[in-house]
Amino acid sequence: MESPFEVLGITPDADDGEIVDAYRERVKEAHPDQGGSASEFQAVKTAYERLQNGYEPGDPLPDETPEPEPESPPEPDDPMVEFLNFEVLEDHGWALEDEDLFEKAAEAGLRSADFGRFYVDPNDTLLEAAEKNGFAWPFACRGGACTNCAVAVVEGEMPSPASHILPPELTEKGIRLSCIAAPISDDAKIVYNLKHLPEVSELLLPASRFEQASSTD
Ligand code: FES
């Protein structure tokens, strides 16, 4: 059986940043929608989780027999998110309120980082799900305090936990924090990178105040 390092194509002395970079690259290549397979996709996710849980070179690996490959994409019962980068709206002169926003996005030939879809594991926040699917969405505190991870829920349900920094006037507009929330409806349409929206940007705490921040300024 390949070690987690071999699965991610890195050496055992790779640092945390190299592991995350390798994971984001491999998980995209392995996704069934991108020419990979469900078993390959799962192997990459498992390798990354083992490294996150402290796997060291030489640690024993469980004797695993690969499951037969399913015919459909993995976890089809999980909520499916269709996402769009807020910066794209600015570039095209679109608005969050546009009823055909996602239809226009689907026809605009956007980059896969700006428009696409992924499934959300019920145990993950939306931000974690994006990262597991290889997307580098902005964040800083990962605790509902800084608004760097704000998204707009254009369609679908994504309850907001009780404790966070967003005022009611923003939550009533469907603004949520992806680090502490996740969709519960089968499908959801989400605009991410909302920190550039003026009402959100005035609440921002600078990403530089937090370790491991990811910013797409
Ligand atoms: S990362 Fe700070 S509120 Fe989500």
Q: What is the DSSP letter of 132?
A: H
What is the Å distance from ligand 1's center to 82 Cα? 21
Give every CB contact of residue 81 below 8 A, 6+ residues apart in sequence: 117, 118, 119, 120, 126, 129, 156, 183, 187, 188, 189, 190
Evaluate if residue 31 carries a pLDDT over 90: no
149 CB under 6 A from ligand 1?
Answer: yes
Instruction: Kindly state if the Cβ of 146 falls inside 6 Å of ligand 1.
Output: yes
Q: Ligand 1 mean position to 146 CA, how many Å? A: 5
140 lines ligand 1 (CB under 6 A): yes
In this predicted structure, the answer to whether residue 162 has a pLDDT above a threshold of 80 is no
State the average pLDDT for the chain: 85
* Domains within the chain, CATH numbers bracketed: 1-71 (1.10.287.110), 80-209 (3.10.20.30)
What pLDDT score does 33 carry?
Answer: 62
Nearest CA to ligand 1 atom 3: 144
Q: Is the Cβ–Cβ distance between 192 and 157 less than 8 Å?
A: no
pLDDT of residue 215: 57
CA 75, distance to chain mean position in Å, is 16
Asked whether the predicted pLDDT for residue 189 surpasses 70, the reply is: yes
**pLDDT for res 63:** 60
- pLDDT class for 165, splitting at 50, 70, 90? confident
Please give the distance of CA 4 from its chain centroid, rounded to a whole number: 21
Weakest mean pLDDT among 25-29, 66-70, 113-117, 160-164: 66-70
Which H or E element spans position 85?
Answer: strand 80-85
pLDDT at 182: 95
pLDDT (0 to 100) of residue 202: 84
How does pLDDT run across 76-88, given as a tens digit for each residue? 578 999 999 999 9
Mutational pocket test of ligand 1: of 125, 147, 170, the residue with most ligand atoms within 8 Å of the beta carbon: 147
Identity of the amino acid at 22: A
Which of 90, 92, 87, 86 is CA-nearest to residue 107? 92
pLDDT at 155 over 90: yes
Does residue 64 sit in helix, strand or coil?
coil
Are 147 and 166 in contact by the 8 Å Cβ rule? The answer is yes
pLDDT at 126 over 90: yes
Model pLDDT, residue 41: 78
Element (H, E) at 198: helix 198-201
Among 179, 200, 204, residue to substitute to test ligand 1 (most atoms within 8 Å of Cβ): 179
Tell me the CA–centroid distance for residue 118 and ligand 1, in Å: 21
Amino acid letter for position 208: S
Residue 178 in tokens: 């992806």
Please check the confidence at residue 164 and state whether its pLDDT lies above 50.
yes
In the predicted model, what is the mean pLDDT of residues 202-215?
A: 70
How would you label 182-207 residue by residue, b for 16+ Cβ within 10 Å and e otherwise? bbeeeebbbbbbbbbbeebeebbeeb
Residue 89's nearest CA partner among 118, 109, 114 is 114
Mean pLDDT, range 137-144, rounded to an integer? 90
Mean pLDDT is lowest, of 31-35, 52-56, 97-101, for 31-35
Ligand 1 proximity of 7 Cβ (cutoff 6 Å)? no
* pLDDT tens per residue across span 37-75: 777 877 888 888 888 888 888 888 776 545 555 444 555
pTM for this model (two decimals): 0.66
Pocket test residue of 125, 141, 170 for ligand 1, highest count of atoms within 8 A of CB = 141
Confirm if 48 and 77 have CB atoms less than 8 A apart: no
